[in-house]
Structures are given as structure tokens and as C-alpha cells.
Amino acid sequence: MEKLAVIALGGNAITRGDEKGTIEEQYKNSSDTIRNLIYLIKDGYNLVLSHGNGPQVGNILLRNDAGEEIYDIPQMPLDICVADSQGGIGYMLEKMLRNILKEEGIDREVVTIVTQVVVSKDDPAFENYTKRVGKLYSKERADEMAAKKGWVFKANSKNDDKWRRVVPSPEPKEIMNERIIKDLVNSGVIVIASGGGGIPVYYDEKGMLQALEAVIDKDAASSLLASRIGADEFYILTDVPYVYANYGTPQQKIMEFLNKEKITQMIDKGEFGEGSMLPKIKSALRFVENGGQKSVITEASKLEDRKFGSRITLN
């Protein structure tokens, strides 16, 4: 029986932290990452790929700002920017994947789905804006933008004399087109979906879909998608090969195998950073709690050499 895996590509799979983000850099990084996934396809896996979009959406927002300030071009709302990034990154990943499959002599179709993800308008996240997006502003300019557009700003964590827009990050509740994604992937099509956590939408009082100025955690949305389509395995690819205990200290230790009990102990001890590993750990654990066989957190090269990084199971 073929296995189904959902693979969440981290931001560094497309743009590295020390790069400008040119299209040449993004193509190379995407190609390098995808080549590490080929063995899964050769082993008969069906695949769904999701991806981060932080740097790309950030650049889209910067272009929005520049277009408005210089040419008086109306800014696009955040949901359109997320959709824009899904289409662009999906096209890039799909093209690279098709080329690599051809090189390997593998006959598989690939499709990209621009994915909406349903959230609750009553999510507590709408009372506490936490996700920073867009450019840095002076306090004076931030106040002007807040008055003009109703945006919320916070002092930038790394440079307190600059301010940055913040938006909510609600929990994903439903993946649109999940049945279609499941049908496609079960027929052998490699699907790219739920990019950047998906486009956040909600149902209004008439049952109509409406957009929200928010972002959804990519790993949380990918975990939900994996559960809803009945995936066997869930992979989160990041910039470290393993989950570590006492990370960044002389007592740092690789945690190759983790179960719910051990993860809970480590969370209670504050082992995982709120803005880095903790959301990944929670998403990986949620997948196995919902019936998945295992989650894996690692960097892409660990898939190719089959060392697999850190494996998370329920027991």
C-alpha cells in the first residue's frame, strides 16, 4: 500500500537568511530541497508539499508600500499578498519538481492549489496581534499609517526606535478543497497546497467567505491538512537537523526520538522557543495525536541520507 506524506518546507528551503532573495537564489534553493525528496517518490510515497512564504510576502508588502508612496498605486490587502505568494512560489516549486522528475525518469503529475484556510473570527488571536509583517517605520510614520489604514503597530523587537505592523495569527480550522487534494494525491498527483499557512478566511452570518488581515502558522495549517487527508507521515523541514534539549548551551543534546510524554516535559521546562521550535513541536505532536503514524522535524539533507532527524510519535 502506498504511503502518503505531507512535507512542510521551511522558509530556508526557498530563501536563506543571508541572501537577498533573487529569483536565481530561490530557484537554486528550491531545487536543492526538492532533490532531497526524490527518494520518497522513488519509494512509492504520494506527496503533498506546503511551504513558508515569510520573506516573499515581506517583499510583496515592500513593493506595495513603494508603489503607493511613489506612484499612488493602491495597496493590496494581506490576503491578496498571501495568494500572490502562493501562486508565485507554487509555480517555482512545480517547475523545479517537474524538471527533476524528468531527469530522474519519473512520470508523475504536479499541481499547485491556491489554498484558503478557514479560521474563526472569534479566535483569541484577534485580541492579541503578534505576527510582524512589512517594513520598519518611524514612530511618527507608524502613527500616520495606523490612523489612515487602521493598522496596529508594535516596536520592533530588534530596534526599538522603529515600529512594525503586527497582525493576528489565528488557528486553522478547515482546509478548503481538502477533498480534492486527497483525491488528487491518492491518484498519484504531487500536490502543492496550503502555502504560507493558507489564505485566512471566515464564514460570515450569511455563510459567505470573507477575508481577514491575518497570517496562519504554516506548520499548524500543514499539520491540519495532513490529518484531514489521512496522511501517514508529516515532515517539517527547517534549518536544524534535529530537535535539541538545552539548545545553544554546553549541555545541548540531540533528541532523536520524542513521544508525547517527553515533549510535554520539555515544553513545561521552557525548552522550545515560542517563535521558533515550539510551534513546530506542537504541530508535529498534534498530527500524531490525530492518528498519524509519525512526524519528523529535520533539515532537507537528512531526508536524502535517511537519518531522518527527530521523530515524534504518540507513545
Active site amino acids: 11-12, 131, 218, 280
The Cα–Cα gap between 21 and 10 comes to 15
Phi and psi, residue 252, nearest 5°: -55, 135
In the chain, which ranges are continuous DSSP H helix? 23-35, 38-42, 54-71, 78-104, 139-149, 178-186, 218-228, 260-268, 277-289, 300-304
Q: What is the CA radius of gyration of the chain?
A: 20
The Cα–Cα gap between 166 and 162 comes to 13
Residue whose entry in the numeric block shows the C-alpha cell 510551534:
279
The Cα–Cα gap between 82 and 115 comes to 10
Instruction: State which H helix or E strand residue 217 sits in.
Output: none
The Cα–Cα gap between 194 and 215 comes to 12
